[in-house]
Amino acid sequence: MALAKTIGAEIVNADSMQIYADLEVLTARPAAADLAAAPHHLYGVADGGKAWSAGRWLRAAEVALGEIAGRGRRVIVVGGTGLYFRALTQGLADIPPVSDTVRDAVEARYLEEGEVAIREALRAVDPAAATRIEVGDRQRLVRALSVHAATGRALSDWHGEGSAPLLVRWRGLVLDPPREQLYASCDARLGGMIERGALEEVRGLMARNLSPDLPVMKALGVPEFAAHLRGELTVEEALAAARQSTRRYAKRQTTWFRNQTPDWPRLAAPDFDTALAKLGA
């Protein structure tokens, strides 16, 4: 916020969960005062009943970036979804859309045959994807096999033909606090969210009877607090489980940025003057 004010920039969201209107509390979406203090884009713009892919976000970001450039203003893209940053700076494969009919057929096959069978089917047509996709990642397995069924080409082949990046002149910065401090922040974050209405937010999602495979239903805190609301866990147990999930995610996120953006400067704490110096803004 301080940087945006100083350099006259507008803020664009690059967090795959903060795009969903249904997850205001659990994703710590910017408060009303923040939204009023600086222009924000792509926060709370998607309905939780529809999954947004990186490609859909990139198309929305392209529109936002173009409008901001038209106003002669600078942009700060902020968030924790590494794939979004990679798509912005390195491009993204232009994969043809997969029809609901094809995807539903692959989904039905997954439910009937199970993960092992689907992974082997994917290995026969896209061995790189079958190896890359983690155990238990039903969404990506179905996606990869659906792309092959719809296009006749492996998803890995499409990824090898990335489009041109949207951002050509840019500077990156990673907020990388000490591990103990990061975990303490994760724990405090969840407790505060319960006080601000996280349980009510999850109750609203449950009332919609959405598919458990949708990203919004897998957001940090949603599965654990939903289990509490079903009477399967006490609120203390749900909070402990959500905190553990958040710490694990933070560790994976830190590893991703360490491996994928090794040349980006690091910032151990959100100190404005240091950030300004590292960015050269």
CATH number for 136: 1.10.20.140
Q: Are residues 200 and 78 in the same domain?
A: yes
Q: Are residues 25 and 133 in the same domain?
A: no
Cβ neighbors of 55 (< 8 A, separation 6 or more) are 87, 92, 94, 95
Closest CA to 191 of 26, 68, 72: 26
Q: Which of the residues in the chain have pLDDT under 50? A: none
Task: Name the residue range of residue 20's domain.
Answer: 2-92+164-279
Q: Are residues 138 and 210 in the same domain?
A: no
Among residues 159, 179, 206, which one ends one of the domains?
159
Query: Contact, 183 vs 251, CB < 8 A?
Result: no
The per-residue DSSP string of 38-63 comes to S-EESSS-B-TTSPPPHHHHHHHHHH
Q: What is the pLDDT of residue 272?
A: 77
- Number of separate domains in the chain: 2
Closest CA to 238 of 252, 227, 253, 254: 227
Q: What is the pLDDT of residue 138?
A: 86
pLDDT one-digit tens code per residue, 26-71: 999 999 899 889 999 999 999 999 999 888 899 999 999 999 999 9
CA atoms of 104 and 114, how far apart (whole Å):
15
Q: What is the pLDDT of residue 161?
A: 66
Q: Are residues 155 and 170 in the same domain?
A: no
Q: What is the pLDDT of residue 198?
A: 96
Q: Are residues 132 and 220 in the same domain?
A: no
Q: What is the pLDDT of residue 162?
A: 62
Q: Are residues 55 and 135 in the same domain?
A: no
Q: Are residues 152 and 243 in the same domain?
A: no
138-151 helix and 100-113 helix, angle to the nearest 10 degrees: 130
